[in-house]
Structure 1
């Protein structure tokens, strides 16, 4: 098959080279954006008098018919035509004749693929933002539905201090809210229109790049043509956003996996979100959480791969940049899958509040409160720490909890202890006392819930903006 760029060549491309350099096996995904960008380009060419209005109409009609064919499954993509751009252009020329060849006036595949990728990522950012918002909603719902459940808080995976389960869930909400904010930054730097940069230096034709940007709903146009065709910062930034998002989901996954074990028994996952064992009939495995945890490394790999690809490239376009697509596409698929299944899993999860509360009463999660009690009685904290440490050692040897001790036993360690010590170290009291801003008291958690709802209301306005900002 003759190449649309083959005039300078005297030999056909080696079949192995065709297969190696072809990107159509994955960049076919860009067909909507490629056709939308070409339609806007054709309109601009006619507006600027570079082609006639009739020629533009023929081109646009031909492109729309190709779009219909692709979406109906009646379009055969060919490896020999290398990429989505050449596949569509070849079919356009076959369909409407030589006038189809005028479409590529004043543009290059370099700025064309940059345009397609910007448009594609904008569309996917909008979809991911909605899924992320829904997962945030699932976390808020879970917290709001269990306002009084107390659980152990952990450091070093050892029981540390009692906290509200809702407080724990909202910690993940605020992580994801930062991710949403980061995604807004990615959108801003993706919302740049590169078409008109040509291969690297612009074009000799009197084009109107701002008209194209308006047609395609871009907020800004690249100021420098070299930058426009070589920039992949926005993709790398998206992969960085995705890596942090998956990091947060992976941390939550680890806790979901631990909490669903018989050893913890803090939650029970719905059967619909678990699988069994082919040999052990009793097993109920938290596969969704495990897969999300595992796929996190996959997303990290794509980020590192593209950083490595771009780091040594001179300006402007290089074939290396073809490597951005598979990393981007797979990351998008992975993130969307993870967000979708995670929100459903959380909503189906049963919280075993009594078991959590009992675990919080075990061990000595109230020891810090006992030290604080002594401090409020006038003892320096370091001395209070020593007193409580000796008291804990006594309880360990005697097989008791701190709340099991009599006042006489307390006074063996400090005369500052009074009858009110027992109430002061009840886990309900310990939780309620942590009323500093951002703390785990019921009052503070209610404030955090209200803040979360306000954040999500602002995010909804962003979602509407993204919908309007896509073709």
Structure 2
């Protein structure tokens, strides 16, 4: 096996930041100030070679860390061999990877905020647009299009919270834990942790080098984001189907067929939906790897990098596309209106009877009977005569006709979190962090 094969391409993403900090902050009393500056200057040159693609990996290099140390020694002489004093590749790679994950999470949170902003922006245009709401993919009750769009905002808000939580648990420094037993040179691990922006140093050296909880947890959050994007994609794919016609995608985000000229395929959303399976696979793959390892460090842990790099890459690829699709999609009011059927107001009919004093369970039975009667007569629910309704309950009066109004049905759902336009406006205000300075705990800080 060649050295290049031994050195995973994924480890090339790791930053030399920890090595620089280890040299400047963690080795006081172990190396001189002049030696520290020599090593720091040499590492800066090594980083430049990585950045411009001139760094050469040789056959004798066991991994990326020995390759860096070898090149550093070539540049600055024997003092380069002091770089590794008091540390192991085990704590080094764990530190480097945690730094990478921490930054990757922060960048992804920005992408999530962009998508959330797009959802708000599009929702604000459709606060009064009424559309069918579905349960079990059966027509259920009318809702506003804004309410539907905002449901995905709150899914992503929870994802942002989970990312912040995962970031917090990743922000514990393993540097200075050595291979597994700790550091014999009196290195100040808390100073190292602080210099690298960690909250504190890990309290157990065995756990420090073996902890991959943060990797699995982050993969779960990324998979959950993928699932939420998949659900959004599924809705858009379905609603853009001509059989529904609720949504028209911008031409930039639909493709034709090589055979059928009429086709407008929502390929980007299908790809977003498909990525969710990949993200779930990365999570389950790492969990299976971790399950089979004993305590402390094992080479198996190199698999965490491939899984996390791939999951972050996948989301960073699809999030901007989904954001652009949400910003540019067009809702078709005529199609939305045509899809509203009077049976969706059966719950409103039951609510009418409740307001007249009938217990809900009885009101539910009466409304169900009204639906059956309408079907038998071949008329929509709102097409029943008053006499037909009064045969089912004497509580029905002439004012019952006001029930059969979709906009009124939506407007009645005005409690917090409801689909009424005023409730949705309040929801958007909470999402944006408005309300007289009162911030929603689930909304990202920048919205």
- TM beyond 0.5: yes
Question: Cα 1:434–1:459, aligned 2, differ >3 Å: closer, same or farther?
Answer: closer
Classify the secondary structure of the residue corresponding to 1:148.
Answer: coil
1:331 to 301, 304, 311: 311
Other-structure match for 1:467: none
Residue 264 of structure 2 aligns to a residue whose secondary structure is coil
The normalised TM-score by structure 1 is 0.90
2:436 aligned partner: none
1:436 aligns with 2:420: no
Q: CA deviation at 1:439?
A: 1.4
Distance 2:293 2:121 in 1: 47
Once superposed, what is the RMSD of the aligned Cα atoms? 1.9
Does residue 28 of structure 1 match 2:12?
A: yes
Residues 413, 70 of structure 1: alpha-carbon distance in 2 compared, 3 angstrom cutoff: same
TM-score (norm 2): 0.94
1:359 is aligned to 2:335 = no
Cα pair 1:23 1:83 within 8 Å, conserved: yes
Paired residue total: 442
Q: Please state if 1:297 is matched with 2:277.
A: yes
Once residues 53 and 214 of structure 1 are traced to their aligned partners in structure 2, the CA distance between those partners, rounded to angstroms, is: 20
For 1:78 and 1:309, the matched residues in 2 are separated by 29
SS state at 1:366 partner: helix
Show the 5 A alignment for 1:190-269. Answer: 190-269=170-249
CA deviation map 1:184-217 (0-9, x unaligned): 1101101111110000111211211122222211
Tell me the residue number matched to 1:130. 110
Q: Structure 2 vs 1, CA of residues 77 and 137 (structure 1 numbering), >3 Å: closer, same or farther?
A: farther
CA distance in 2 between partners of 1:106 and 1:194 (Å): 13
- 1:457–1:372 CA distance, 2 compared to 1 (3 A): closer
Residue 104 of structure 1 aligns to a residue in which SS? coil
1:315 Cα shift?
2.2
In 2, Cα distance between equivalents of 1:129 and 1:445 = 24
Q: Look up the match of 1:452.
A: 431
- Asked if 1:60 is matched to 2:44, the reply is no
In 2, the alpha carbon distance for the partners of 1:217 and 1:305 equals: 30
In the TM superposition, residue 140 of structure 1 has moved relative to its aligned partner by 1.2
* 1:318 corresponds to: 298
Deviations 1:273-319 (A, max 9, x none): 12221111111111111111111111111111111111232221111
1:385 Cα offset (Å): 2.2
What SS class does the counterpart of residue 242 from structure 2 fall into?
coil
CA 1:459–1:392 in 2, change beyond 3 Å: closer, same or farther? closer
Q: 1:44 and 2:25 equivalent?
A: yes
CA contact (8 A) 1:247 1:296 kept: yes
Matched, 1:404 2:388: no
The CA distance in 1 between the partners of 2:134 and 2:278, in whole Å, is 28
Deviation at 1:240, TM superposition (A): 0.8
- Note the C-alpha offset of 1:443: 2.0
Unaligned ranges ≥5, structure 2: 434-438
Contact 1:107 1:198 in 2 (8 A): yes
How far 1:61 sits from its partner (Å)?
0.7
Deviation at 1:160, TM superposition (A): 0.4
Q: Does 1:372 align with 2:356?
A: no
Aligned equivalents of 1:122 and 1:358: distance in 2?
49
Matches of 2:446 and 2:194, distance apart in 1: 20
Shift of 1:107: 0.6
- Which of 177, 180, 195 matches 2:160? 180
